[in-house]
Amino acid sequence: MTTPTTLLVLGASGDLTRRLLLPGLGSLLERDPDRPLRIVGADRADLGADGFADRLGEALAEGGASDAVLARHRESDYHRLDVTDADEFARVLADVAGDANERLVLYFALPPAVTERACHALTHCDLPPDTHLAMEKPFGRDQESARALNELVARLVPDERVHRVDHFLGKSTVIDVMALRFANRMTQAVWSADHIAAIEIAYDEALALEGRAGYYDHAGALVDMIQSHLLQVMAVVAMEPPSQITGRELRDAKSAVLRATRLWGGDAATASRRGRYTAGTIGERHVPNYLDETGVDPARDTETMAQVTVEVVNQRWRGVPITLRSGKALGHTHKQIVITFEDVRHLPEGFRGADTRDRLIIGLDPDVMELRLTTNGTEDPFELEQSTFATELRRAELTAYGEVLAAILDGEAMLSVRGDAAEECWRLTDEVLAAWKAGTVPMEDYEAGSPVPGDWGPALG
Ligand code: NDP
Instruction: Give per-residue pLDDT as tens, 379-435.
Output: 899 999 999 999 998 888 899 999 999 999 999 999 999 999 999 999 999 999 999
Residue 396 lies in a domain: yes
Residue 67 lies in a domain: yes
pLDDT (average), residues 141-165: 96
Residue 12 lies in a domain: yes
Q: If you measure from the C-alpha of residue 18 to the centroid of ligand 1, how many angstroms do you get, rounded to a whole number?
A: 10
- As a whole number of angstroms, the distance between CA 19 and CA 180 comes to 31
Picking from 36, 302, 20, the residue whose alpha carbon sits closest to that of residue 137 is: 20
Cα radius of gyration (the chain): 23
On the question of pLDDT at 169 being above 80, the answer is yes
Confidence at residue 26, expressed as pLDDT on a 0 to 100 scale: 96
Residue nearest to atom 15 of ligand 1 (CA): 114
Catalytic residue status for 229:
yes
On the question of pLDDT at 378 being above 80, the answer is yes
Confidence at residue 460, expressed as pLDDT on a 0 to 100 scale: 52
Q: If you measure from the C-alpha of residue 384 to the centroid of ligand 1, how many angstroms do you get, rounded to a whole number?
A: 55
Q: Are residues 113 and 230 in the same domain?
A: no
Residue 319 lies in a domain: yes
Beta strands in 116-254 (DSSP E): 131-135, 162-165, 196-204
| Cβ(81) – ligand 1 distance below 6 Å | yes
pLDDT (average), residues 296-309: 97
Q: If you measure from the C-alpha of residue 101 to the centroid of ligand 1, how many angstroms do you get, rounded to a whole number?
A: 30
Confidence at residue 173, expressed as pLDDT on a 0 to 100 scale: 85
Which atom of ligand 1 is closest in space to residue 12's alpha carbon? 9
More confidently predicted of 459 and 166: 166
Q: If you measure from the C-alpha of residue 223 to the centroid of ligand 1, how many angstroms do you get, rounded to a whole number?
A: 18
Which atom of ligand 1 is closest in space to residue 115's alpha carbon? 32
pLDDT (average), residues 217-246: 96
Write down which residue in 136, 161, 196 finishes a domain.
136
- As a whole number of angstroms, the distance between CA 420 and CA 147 comes to 8
On the question of pLDDT at 96 being above 80, the answer is yes
Q: Are residues 178 and 57 in the same domain?
A: no
Q: Are residues 106 and 41 in the same domain?
A: yes
- As a whole number of angstroms, the distance between CA 323 and CA 364 comes to 16
Q: Are residues 85 and 14 in the same domain?
A: yes
Write down which residue in 119, 136, 153 finishes a domain.
136
Catalytic hit among 229, 286, 334, 346: 229
Can you spell out the DSSP letters for 272-328? EEEEEEESEEETTEEE--GGGSTT--GGG---SEEEEEEEE-STTTTT--EEEEEES
| Cβ(45) – ligand 1 distance below 6 Å | yes
Confidence at residue 459, expressed as pLDDT on a 0 to 100 scale: 59
- As a whole number of angstroms, the distance between CA 62 and CA 49 comes to 20
Q: Are residues 353 and 272 in the same domain?
A: yes
Q: Are residues 15 and 89 in the same domain?
A: yes
How many angstroms separate the Cα of 160 from the Cα of each of 120, 133, 178, 251?
Answer: 19, 10, 21, 10
Q: Are residues 86 and 193 in the same domain?
A: no
Write down which residue in 136, 160, 186 finishes a domain.
136
CATH number of residue 37's parent domain: 3.40.50.720
| Cβ(111) – ligand 1 distance below 6 Å | yes
Residues 6 or more apart whose CB falls under 8 angstroms from that of 135 comprise 108, 115, 153, 162, 163, 164, 165
Confidence at residue 223, expressed as pLDDT on a 0 to 100 scale: 97
Confidence at residue 1, expressed as pLDDT on a 0 to 100 scale: 63
Confidence at residue 461, expressed as pLDDT on a 0 to 100 scale: 44
Reduced to 3 states (helix: H, G, I; strand: E, B; else coil), residue 270 is: helix
- Confidence class of residue 108 from pLDDT cuts 50, 70 and 90? very high
| Cβ(12) – ligand 1 distance below 6 Å | no
Instruction: For CA atoms 267, 174, 32, 72, give the dihedral sign.
Output: positive
Instruction: Give per-residue pLDDT as tens, 203-229.
Output: 999 999 989 999 999 999 999 999 989
Instruction: Give per-residue pLDDT as tens, 110-138.
Output: 999 999 999 999 999 999 999 999 999 99
Confidence at residue 29, expressed as pLDDT on a 0 to 100 scale: 96
- As a whole number of angstroms, the distance between CA 310 and CA 321 comes to 6
pLDDT (average), residues 307-329: 98
Picking from 405, 315, 365, 361, the residue whose alpha carbon sits closest to that of residue 37 is: 405
Single-letter residue type at 177: V
| Pocket residue to mutate for ligand 1, from 44, 87, 106, most atoms within 8 A of Cβ | 44
| Cβ(43) – ligand 1 distance below 6 Å | yes
Instruction: Give per-residue pLDDT as tens, 31-76.
Output: 999 999 999 999 999 999 999 999 999 999 999 999 999 999 988 8
| Cβ(193) – ligand 1 distance below 6 Å | no
Residue 457 lies in a domain: no
On the question of pLDDT at 458 being above 80, the answer is no
pLDDT (average), residues 443-457: 94
Residue nearest to atom 17 of ligand 1 (CA): 82
Q: If you measure from the C-alpha of residue 43 to the centroid of ligand 1, how many angstroms do you get, rounded to a whole number?
A: 9
| Cβ(41) – ligand 1 distance below 6 Å | no
Q: What is the pTM of this model?
A: 0.95
| Cβ(110) – ligand 1 distance below 6 Å | yes
Picking from 139, 203, 130, 132, the residue whose alpha carbon sits closest to that of residue 165 is: 139
Q: If you measure from the C-alpha of residue 122 to the centroid of ligand 1, how many angstroms do you get, rounded to a whole number?
A: 18
Q: Are residues 241 and 388 in the same domain?
A: yes
Q: Are residues 319 and 221 in the same domain?
A: yes
Residue 201 lies in a domain: yes
- As a whole number of angstroms, the distance between CA 69 and CA 314 comes to 49
Bridge partner list, 312 = 261
Q: If you measure from the C-alpha of residue 385 to the centroid of ligand 1, how many angstroms do you get, rounded to a whole number?
A: 51
Average pLDDT, the chain: 94
| Pocket residue to mutate for ligand 1, from 15, 80, 203, 401, most atoms within 8 A of Cβ | 15
pLDDT (average), residues 256-277: 97
Residue 256 lies in a domain: yes
| Cβ(96) – ligand 1 distance below 6 Å | no
Q: At what angle do helices 22-31 and 400-409 cross, to 10 degrees?
A: 70
Q: Are residues 132 and 185 in the same domain?
A: no
What's the domain range around 189?
169-447
Residue 311 lies in a domain: yes
Q: Are residues 336 and 214 in the same domain?
A: yes
CATH number of residue 405's parent domain: 3.30.360.10
